[in-house]
Amino acid sequence: MYPADVKYTKNHEYLKPLGDGTALVGITHYAQEALGDVVFVDMPEVGAKFKAGDEFGTVESVKTVSEIFIPSACEVIEINGELEAHPEYVNEDAYGKGWMLKVKLDGGLNSELLDAAAYEALVSAESH
Partner 1 sequence: MPELLKTPLNAVHRALGAKMVDFGGWDMPVQYPTGIINEHVAVRTKVGLFDVSHMGEIRVKGPQAMAFLDWLTPNAVVKLAHGQIHYTAFLYENGTFVDDLLLHKIADDHFLLVVNASNVDKDFAWVKKHAAKWDVEVTNESDATGQVALQGPLSIDVLQPLVDIDLSQIKYYWFAFGNFKGMPAMFARTGYTGEDGFEVYCPAEKTAWVWNELMESGKPHGLVPTGLGCRNTLRLEAKMALYGHEIDDTTNALEADLGWIIKLNKGEFLGREALATLKEQGLGRKLVGFRMLEKRDIARDHMDVLVDGKKAGYVTSGSPSTTCGFNLGLAYVPISNAPLGSRIHVDIRGKACEAEVIPTPFYKRAK
How far apart are CB 47 and partner 1 at their closest, in Å? 20
In eight-state DSSP terms, residue 14 is E
Among positions 43-62, residues that touch partner 1 (CB under 8 A) are 58, 60, 62
Q: Which of 1, 18, 46, 65 binds partner 1 (CB under 8 A)?
A: 65
Contact of 24 with 15, CB cutoff 8 Å: yes
124 lines the binding site for partner 1 (CB under 8 A): no
Residue placing its CB nearer to partner 1 in the complex, 57 or 71:
57
Burial of 85 (0-12, 13-18, 19+ CB in 10 A): exposed
In eight-state DSSP terms, residue 114 is B
11 lines the binding site for partner 1 (CB under 8 A): no
Largest CA distance in the chain: 40
Among positions 71-110, residues that touch partner 1 (CB under 8 A) are 91
